Amino acid sequence: MLDFLKAPIQSVQDFFVLSAKTIRGVFRRPHYWDDVFLQMDVIGFGSLPIVILTGFFSGAVMALQMSKALAQYGAVGKTGELVTISLVRELGPVLTSLMVAGRNSSGMASELGSMKVTEQIDAMRALGTDPVQKLVAPRLMATCSVLPLLTVVADFMGMLGGFVIAYTLLQMSPEFYWNSAWQSIGYSDIFQGLIKPFSFAVIVALVGCHYGLRTTGGTQGVGRSTTRAVVVASVWIFVLDFFITRFFVNI
Amino acid sequence: MSADPSASVLRFEGVSLAFDETPALDSVSFEVRRGETRIILGSAGSGKTVLLKTALGLLKPDSGRVFVFGGQIKDLTEARLFDIRARVGILFQEGGLFDSLSIGENVAYPLLNQRLLRVEPAEALRRAGEALRFVELEHTLEKFPSELSGGMRRRIGIARAVVSRPPLVLYDSPTAGLDPITAHTIISLIIKARDLENTTTVIVTQRYQDGIWLDNFRYNPKSGGLEPVRHAGPDKPGTMFSVMREGRIVFEGDRKELEGCRDPYVAKFVKRETSAPLRSRSGAGTEPRP
């Protein structure tokens, strides 16, 4: 009767087993540093254009929306403050992580999935290499290193986008905008804004690798794994975001 | 390892393995002795590949025991299995080459990553070059797998399987999907690898011809080509055949017994007309005259 639950429960169990093995792999030799740096380049530098664009335009759109709402209360001067807080606490981490999930969870799932269906994962094990150590741990380490950095870039670009709107359309002086933006950020916001992408990085990397390594059914299977990886990673980013925010709101 | 020439190199004892309650191996038992050539015939989905992966510890059986070089591998950790696998070469069905590595790096991979085989990168590359010369593809050292044909990738896979000179080599459907000429080249290389190092060889295949070639021919290092086997030495185990069906071994015996078997499924694999075509002039890696 409960057969329909078997596959998802098995998948969750496999995910936690993979997570435990990967975290153990991070602290165990051998470390494949070449792969870590390669992945940092692929995930970090490769995602820079989309993160810059997304950050800039989300900041600009927020400034437009906020200024309209704030104008009703005669508080247009608060635009910089609101844009900055929203970006640093929420939009920067979440949007960046979603972008990286779309780009790299799918990339990891398809790359590892292709390796799985062409027996490269088996070959790796047969030739003396632990695929978790060689493939998953470097991706986790790389994502956890670069996602907070990408978020900082997205936050700054968002603030810049907000500034462009504030300066060109709201006639706000640069000194006023940047000063109010800077003053509005507290240490708790910065901590929250960095712990989130770090946690989301774990989801982005492990979900992508998990679905990649579970791939069966040839090229169609690779497609399925890729789609699932993006969907599941995106949903879990929102779920985890809720719990982290809930925690920080309470303290 | 014992010096007994008939020592068991690979043994399955009542091995069963199922995927989602569909049995892939069902009480499989057999033994491969040192120096033996074992041909495992079976149609697609009969469990041949699963059997090879189980022999390497890549898949864990649900029940039964697997012995490699006399030691049981079922309960070994992955780290211990790496040490066992260092003495086993394998050719995967599609070659299993790493797309992101050059051919040289692919072939040198076991020498750089197997704990027990590890050598300096320069030495690994030199030996990779030697192995590529063995399969007559030394010019591909800098190329990538995607630049090669299916048959060439299979030959590179053989080079990688034998680069560490393992005493046991497993071949997963080495001729599947290849044209007859390329298939012959592959089998010639397998014979050459087997006879030069006197390795124990296990081949799973759908083609009975592969078994006949391996049974009928041997590599002559003096002439650098294949020659018919006139008589099997008394101290040398010959070629044994097994036939798999739906995860079970339904036949086990030598070629004579196989050809005399009345079982309709087994008889389907036996085609007498395929026993002739190989000529003794054909060296490994050379193309035969069809």
- Residue B111: closest CA among chain A residues belongs to which residue? A127
Q: Does B88 touch chain A (CB under 8 A)?
A: yes
- In chain B, which residues have their Cβ closer than 8 Å to the Cβ of A128? 82, 85-86, 110, 113-115, 117
Contact yes or no for A127 and B110 at CB 8 A: yes
Chain A contact probe: residue of B109, B156, B169, B204 with most A CBs at under 10 A:
B109
Query: What is the value of pTM for the model shown?
Result: 0.85
Kindly report the nearest CA distance between residue B258 and chain A, in angstroms. Answer: 32
SS (H, E, C) A29-57: CCCCHHHHHHHHHHHHHHHHHHHHHHHHH
- Give A119→chain B minimum CA distance, Å: 5
The reply to whether residue A128 touches residue B110, judged by beta carbons under 8 angstroms, is yes
Please give the residue of chain B at the shortest CA–CA distance from A35.
B100
B interface test, pick of A10, A34, A119 with most B CB neighbours within 10 Å: A119
Check pLDDT > 60 for residue A212. yes
Joined tokens for residue B82 = 């790496």
pLDDT of amino acid B182: 86
Q: What is the pLDDT of residue B233?
A: 55
Q: Which of A127, A134, A135 to mutate to test the interface with B (most CBs of B within 10 A)?
A: A127
Three-class HEC string of chain B: CCCCCCCEEEEEEEEEEEECCEEEEEEEEEEEECCCEEEEEECCCCCHHHHHHHHCCCCCCCEEEEEECCEECCCCCHHHHHHHHCCEEEEECCECCCCCCCHHHHHHHHHHHCCCCCCCHHHHHHHHHHHHHHCCCHHHCCCCHHHCCHHHHHHHHHHHHHCCCCCEEEEECCCCCCCHHHHHHHHHHHHHHHHHHCCEEEEEECCHHHHHHHHHEEEECCCCEEEECCCCCCCCCCEEEEEEECCEEEEEECHHHHHHCCCHHHHHHCCHHHHCCCCCCCCCCCCCCC
Q: Is the peptide bond before B23 cis (omega within 30 degrees of 0)?
A: no
Indicate the pLDDT class of residue A163, thresholds 50, 70 and 90: very high
| Pair of tokens at residue A167 | 């300066």
Rounded to the nearest angstrom, the minimum Cα separation between B283 and chain A is 29
Q: How many beta-carbon pairs below 8 A join chains A and B?
A: 50
pLDDT at B225: 82
Q: Cβ A126–B85 below 8 Å, yes or no?
A: yes
Choose the closest CB to A127 out of B94, B99, B114.
Answer: B114
B208-236 in b/e burial notation, b at 16+ Cβ within 10 A? bbbbbbbbbbbbeeeeebbbebeeeeeee
Alpha-carbon distance of B6 to A234, in angstroms, equals: 58
Distance CA A95, CA A47 (A): 12
Taking CB atoms and an 8 Å cutoff, what residues of chain A touch B86?
128
What pLDDT sits at residue B254?
Answer: 86
Q: From the CA of B81, how many Å to the nearest CA of chain A?
A: 9
Q: Which residue has the tokens 């540093």?
A: A33
Print pLDDT tens along chain B (290 aa): 444 545 889 999 999 999 877 889 999 999 999 989 999 998 888 889 999 999 999 999 999 999 999 888 888 888 889 989 999 999 998 888 999 999 999 999 999 988 888 888 899 999 999 999 888 888 998 999 999 988 899 999 999 999 999 999 999 988 888 888 888 888 888 998 888 888 999 999 988 888 888 888 888 888 888 888 875 555 556 888 999 988 898 888 888 888 888 888 888 777 544 444 444 443 444 333 33
Average pLDDT (A115-129) is 92
Report d(CA A195, CA A244) in Å as an integer: 9
Of residues B286 and A31, which shows the higher confidence score? A31
Query: Which structure tokens are listed for A155?
Result: 């936050």
Subunit contact A122:B58, Cβ cutoff 8 A: yes
The dihedral of CA B92, B95, B101, B105: what is its sign?
Answer: positive
Computed from CA positions of residues B182, B188, B191, B197, in that sequence, does the dihedral angle turn out positive or negative?
negative
Return the top range by mean pLDDT from A73-77, A178-182, A223-227.
A223-227
Structure tokens at A200: 């989301």
Task: Find the mean pLDDT for residues A159-165.
Answer: 92
Looking at residue A103, what is its pLDDT?
A: 93
Record: contact A129-B113, CB cut-off 8 A: yes
Please tell me which residue, A136 or A172, carries the higher pLDDT value: A136
**d(CA B92, nearest CA chain A) in Å:** 7
In 3D, which of B156, B281, B43 has the Cα closest to residue A123? B156
Beta bridge partners of B264: none
Q: Do A123 and B98 touch (CB under 8 A)?
A: yes
Average pLDDT of the residues in A202-228: 93
% chain A with pLDDT above 90: 70
CB contact under 8 A, B78 and A130: yes
Q: What is the pLDDT of residue B19?
A: 87
Asked if B98 lies within 8 A of A129 by C-beta distance, the reply is no
133-192 in chain B: CB under 8 A from chain A: 160
pLDDT given for residue B51 in this prediction: 93
Beta carbons within 8 Å of A241's beta carbon, 6+ residues apart: A90, A93, A94, A196, A200
Nearest-CB residue to A120 (from B85, B96, B114): B96
What's the mean pLDDT when you consider all of chain A? 91
Gap from A109 CA to chain B (nearest CA, Å): 16
Q: What is the pLDDT of residue B116?
A: 84
With an 8 Å Cβ cutoff, is B99 touching chain A?
Answer: yes
Tokens linked to B278: 């190989």
Q: Is the ipTM of this complex over 0.85?
A: no
